Each structure stands twice: as structure tokens, then as C-alpha cells.
Amino acid sequence: LSARPVGERLCSVEEATAGSGTYTRHGFIFSSLAGCLEKRSEDSGLPIVSVVRDTESQLLPNVGAVVTCKVCSINSRFAKVHILYVGSTPLKSTFRGTIRREDIRATEKDKVEVYKSFRPGDIVLAKVISLGDAQSNYLLSTAENELGVVVAHSEAGAQMVPISWCEMQCPQTHSKDFRKVARVQPQFLQT
């Protein structure tokens, strides 16, 4: 279900019947509003195409947007994440993102180690820096002080407490783990 811009030619009138959110001109059906294309089959013959405006489905992570994401996997070069929120708005569908080693922090980039910055399961605030390849994979950065890990759990399963910009501590076992810790601004805290 990809979003359709206003005025996009959807199909010919031989293929379908124009439904809501569409209009017919010169034998073709066009979208009359931006939204998602829906095709409903009718018993009596041609399917009905309609375009449904869905404000939330229009929300995509744009370059410069601050997003909340969850780390899925890490290797020595990057962390793979799923983007969950744009600003404070939850996304209906998951977008994949990548935080490359060189985009983790602003200083001493050559000394950054991914496993000392993120772990799978971490919740991270990041900024979209490019729409990646074919918009399937967003490139994200945590180089600013406000960006980085906001929620992490220790091996004991407890939510860890940040003790510096590069360490978090388990409140139960008091063991410390390295992270690229975000200096969280209150407006970004997800409850």
C-alpha cells in the first residue's frame, strides 16, 4: 500500500470502476487526493479502485527528523535498527535504518566501537541523515549529545541507569556497560 500523489493515473476505465478519492478523464482513473490505493473486487465485474486519505500513513522519516528506534543487530561496522517513532508519533509500519560506525559520535570517530555504543534491544534516539538505498534503509546518526541510547537493559533484565555519556549501570548488579548515551531532552522521552 504505497501512498499516491494527487493526480496520479491509476489505471484505465476498462480495468476498474472509479471509487471514492478518484476521478475519470479520457478513459483513465486518476487519484483526486493523496493517500493509499485500495482495490475492492465486486461480484458484478470490474474491481472498484479508491484512494483513502490516511494521515498517519503519510508520515515518513524525513532527513533531519529525530526518530526513536530499536537496535536489532550490530556488527563491527554498523548497527541495524527498526524506526518506531518520528518525533513523538508512532509509525504504523516499521522502517529499517542503519547507524554506521562513523555516524555514532562527533569526536574520535576512528576510535568508535559499535558494540561499546549499542546492543540489540536498546532504544535509541537518532537523526535521519539520508534516505539510504531505495528508501528501504534510512541512514541515521547519533553524533549529537542529545542522541544515542535512551533505554537499555542489563543482562539481569533491569533497565540501566546512565552514569556518564559513555556508560550505563545496572541498578541490581551494579555492573557497567559501555553505551553511546543520549543526553535526553524531556520532550523526546517516550513513556
Give the model confidence (pLDDT) of 45-86 as tens digits. 888 888 877 654 556 788 899 999 999 999 999 999 999 998
| 65-188: in CATH 1.10.3720.10 | no
∠ CA 46-51-52, rounded to 5°: 130
Q: Is the pTM of this model over 0.75?
A: no
Q: CA-to-CA distance for 16 and 89, rounded, in angstroms?
A: 35
Burial of 26 (0-12, 13-18, 19+ CB in 10 A): exposed
65-188 shares the fold of 3-52: yes
Domain boundaries, the chain: 3-52, 65-188
Residue 188 has a pLDDT of 46
How much is the mean pLDDT over the chain?
Answer: 86
Q: Which of 31, 34, 99, 79 lies closest to 60 in space, CA to CA?
A: 34
Look at 6-10, 63-67, 107-111, 130-134 and tell me which has the smallest mean pLDDT. 130-134
Between 93-97, 125-129, 144-148, 158-162, the lowest mean confidence (pLDDT) is in 93-97
pLDDT of 153 strictly over 50: yes
Quote the pLDDT of residue 140. 96
- With residue 182 as reference, give the H or E element that holds it: none
Q: What is the mean pLDDT of residues 114-125?
A: 96
Q: Which helix (H) or strand (E) holds 175?
A: none
The pLDDT value given to residue 37: 84
Count of CB atoms situated within 10 Å of the CB of 56: 10
The partner residues of 30 in beta bridges, in order of sequence, read: 9, 23
CATH pick for 3-52 out of 3.40.50.300, 2.40.50.100, 3.40.50.920, 3.30.1330.40: 2.40.50.100
Q: What is the percent of the chain with per-residue pLDDT over 90, rounded to a whole number?
A: 54
Which pLDDT band holds residue 135 (cuts at 50, 70, 90)?
very low
pLDDT for the residue numbered 54: 62
Query: In this structure, are residues 24 and 48 in contact, taking their beta carbons and an 8 Å threshold?
Result: no
Q: What pLDDT does 133 receive?
A: 59
Amino acid sitting at position 184:
V
Distance of CA 68 to the CA centre of its chain: 7
Q: Are 34 and 4 in contact (CB under 8 A)?
A: yes
> Can you tell me which residue has the cell 539510504?
132
**Measured distance CA(91)–CA(95) in Å, rounded:** 8
Separation of CA 19 from chain center:
32
Cβ neighbours, 10 Å, residue 8 = 15
